[in-house]
Structure 1
Amino acid sequence: MKSAVGTLNTYSWTLIFSDFKEITKARLALSVVFSSIAGYFLGAYQIEWTSVLMLAIGGYCMVGASNAYNQVIEKDLDALMSRTANRPVPSGRMSSATALTIAVIMTLLGIGILYLLNPKTAMFGAIAIFLYTSVYTPLKTVTPLSVFVGAIPGAIPFMLGWVAATNDFGIEPGTLFMIQFFWQFPHFWALAWMLDEDYKKAGFKMLPTGKKDKGTVVQIIMYTVWMIIISVIPVLGITGRLQLSLAGGIIIFLMGMAMLVFAMLLFEKRNNATARKLMLASVIYISLMQVVYVADKYISQIWI
């Protein structure tokens, strides 16, 4: 009997932990934390590991809160889509009140921790939550322009790390913001292309033209080009302390061109398989780009 109870308790805690990861979208939240830490390493004169830990915890809380609010607001729409029907709230495993409580606690905890780093970091974190839940989320069923609004909070994490390290907002974090801002359009529209049929069940208007057509892919290509341009601008030495060596710039340019090739293939084939390849290429690009920026900074310091 004790063994059976112990097994049941273990199963319960496993399910609770699994639902917590789902309600906060743990994989997405961790990728955001990665971006924030990369921004911190770029901005910091000296690494303070306590600050890095606070940024990681605070950043996870902010993203987790945003996702929890989103799933409470969209619970009825999530139930209509195959991709989201089994989420904790629409499936009935977690009540809306519980999810909302998690969101509020994580909001307060996240803002509090980021405020201890500096007020500007907390302010940008709070702005990200507000825009994601109060503007982007309700606009998704109204207009494809919701993607542009959603790209703002989505672009904050990379620059947030710099602000956390410096307590300053200038051209450097502004450039980091623009890189991730432009990156989101090819990334998200590739994802929206794959999920278009599912999104339409809930009435979400996510593709720029409303259709999986050449017009949508032309915009994907356009934003990919802008992403590449912004990503290599620091090579010119016009972005303050945010510097990029010629070698680093060439590496990032080639990575961006590889992503552009997948965008061009989508223009040619216009199918879900190619959209998936572009989406995966975009994930690889943003992660490696941040690694190259950080590695380039510290390798350049060694050689100076």
Structure 2
Amino acid sequence: MKSAVGSLKSTSLSLIFSDFKEITKAKLAVSVVFSSIAGYFLGAYQIELWSVVLLAFGGYCMVGASNAYNQVIEKDLDALMKRTRNRPIPSGRMSVSTAMTVAILLTILGVISLYFLSPKTAMFGAISIFLYTSVYTPLKTKTPLAVFVGAFPGAIPFMLGWVAATDDFGIEPGTLFMIQFFWQFPHFWALGWMLDDDYKRGGFKMLPTGKKDRGTALQIILYTIWMIVISVMPAFGFTGRLHLTIPAATIVLLCGLIMLFFAFRLYEKRDNVSARRLMLASVTYISLIQIIYVVDKLIS
């Protein structure tokens, strides 16, 4: 009997943890934390473990809070889409009040943690939550420009790490911001292309032309080119302390050209397979260049 009760409790805790991961979008949150830590390593003169812990914890809380607010706001629309109908709120596993409690607690914990790093870090974290939940989320059913608006909070994490390390905002974190800002357009439009039918069930307007056409694919190519240009700029001495050696910049350029190749393939074929390949290439690209930037700093 005791064994059965213990097993039931273990199962309940497992479900709660699973729903927590889903309401905070754990995989996305971890990738954002990775970006923030990469930015911190680039900006820091000396790595402080406690600062990294605060940044990781605070960053996860801020992203998790944004995602929880988003799922509260979009609960009815999530119920209409195949990929989201089993989320904790539309499936009935979590109440709106519970989700809001989680979101508010994460907001408070995140702001406090980032404030211990620096007030500017906390400010940028709070701005990202506000833009994501109060501007980007409502716009998604109104206009494709929502992706442009959403690119602002989405570009903050890479920059946030630098600000956390230096308590300063200048050309260096601005460059990191611009890299991730331009990267988001090919990434999210490729995702939007793949999920266009499902998004339309929820009333979301994610593609720039509203269609899976050459116009959308062309814009993906153009934003990818801008992303590549910004990514190699630190090799030319325009970006202060943020610097890339020529070998590192060459590798970054090659990674960008590979992603651009997949963007051209989408323009040529205009199918979901090509969109998926571009999306996967974009995820690989942003992770690789952050690693390259950090390794280049450490060995140069």
Q: Smaller-chain TM-score range?
A: over 0.9
Matching residue of 2:279: 279
1:47 counterpart = 2:47: yes
2:207 and 2:7 map into 1 onto residues whose CA distance is 46
Indicate the SS of the match to 2:90: helix
Matching residue of 1:167: 167
Indicate the SS of the match to 2:89: helix
1:105-137 deviations in Å (ceiling 9; x for gaps): 000000001001000000000000000000000
1:202 Cα deviation (Å)? 0.7
Partner letter of residue 242 of structure 1? L
**How large is the Cα RMSD of the aligned pairs?**
0.4
Matching residue of 2:13: 13
1:174-217 deviations in Å (ceiling 9; x for gaps): 00000000000000000000000000001000000000000000
Matching residue of 2:249: 249
Indicate the SS of the match to 1:144: coil
1:11 and 1:28 map into 2 onto residues whose CA distance is 25
Partner letter of residue 227 of structure 1? M
1:296 and 1:278 map into 2 onto residues whose CA distance is 26
2:260 and 2:211 map into 1 onto residues whose CA distance is 21
1:48 and 1:27 map into 2 onto residues whose CA distance is 25
Unaligned runs of 5+ in 1: none
Matching residue of 1:180: 180
Partner letter of residue 62 of structure 2? M
Partner letter of residue 210 of structure 1? G
> Percent identical across equivalent pairs?
75
1:4 Cα deviation (Å)? 1.2
2:205 and 2:299 map into 1 onto residues whose CA distance is 44
1:5 Cα deviation (Å)? 1.1
TM-score scaled by length of structure 2: 1.00
Matching residue of 1:120: 120
Partner letter of residue 224 of structure 1? T
Q: Map of 1:124-135 to 2, 5 A cutoff? A: 124-135=124-135
1:222 and 1:230 map into 2 onto residues whose CA distance is 13
1:209 counterpart = 2:209: yes
Partner letter of residue 84 of structure 1? T
1:284 and 1:146 map into 2 onto residues whose CA distance is 24
1:265 and 1:50 map into 2 onto residues whose CA distance is 45
Q: Map of 1:255-266 to 2, 5 A cutoff? A: 255-266=255-266
1:98 Cα deviation (Å)? 0.2
Indicate the SS of the match to 1:72: helix
1:5 and 1:80 map into 2 onto residues whose CA distance is 36
Q: Map of 1:52-91 to 2, 5 A cutoff? A: 52-91=52-91
1:7 Cα deviation (Å)? 1.1
1:3 Cα deviation (Å)? 1.4
What is the number of residues matched between the two proteins?
Answer: 300
Matching residue of 2:93: 93
2:21 and 2:298 map into 1 onto residues whose CA distance is 34
1:220 and 1:268 map into 2 onto residues whose CA distance is 12
1:291 Cα deviation (Å)? 0.2
1:193 counterpart = 2:207: no
1:127-159 deviations in Å (ceiling 9; x for gaps): 000000000000000000000000000000000
2:98 and 2:122 map into 1 onto residues whose CA distance is 25
TM-score scaled by length of structure 1: 0.98
1:205 and 1:37 map into 2 onto residues whose CA distance is 32
1:6 Cα deviation (Å)? 1.1
1:79 and 1:283 map into 2 onto residues whose CA distance is 27
1:14 and 1:212 map into 2 onto residues whose CA distance is 40
1:170 and 1:267 map into 2 onto residues whose CA distance is 36
Indicate the SS of the match to 1:64: helix
Matching residue of 1:230: 230
Partner letter of residue 50 of structure 2? T
1:248-276 deviations in Å (ceiling 9; x for gaps): 00000000000000000001111111100
Partner letter of residue 258 of structure 1? I
Partner letter of residue 236 of structure 1? F
Indicate the SS of the match to 1:84: coil
1:143 counterpart = 2:140: no
1:5-50 deviations in Å (ceiling 9; x for gaps): 1111111000000000000000000000000000000000000010
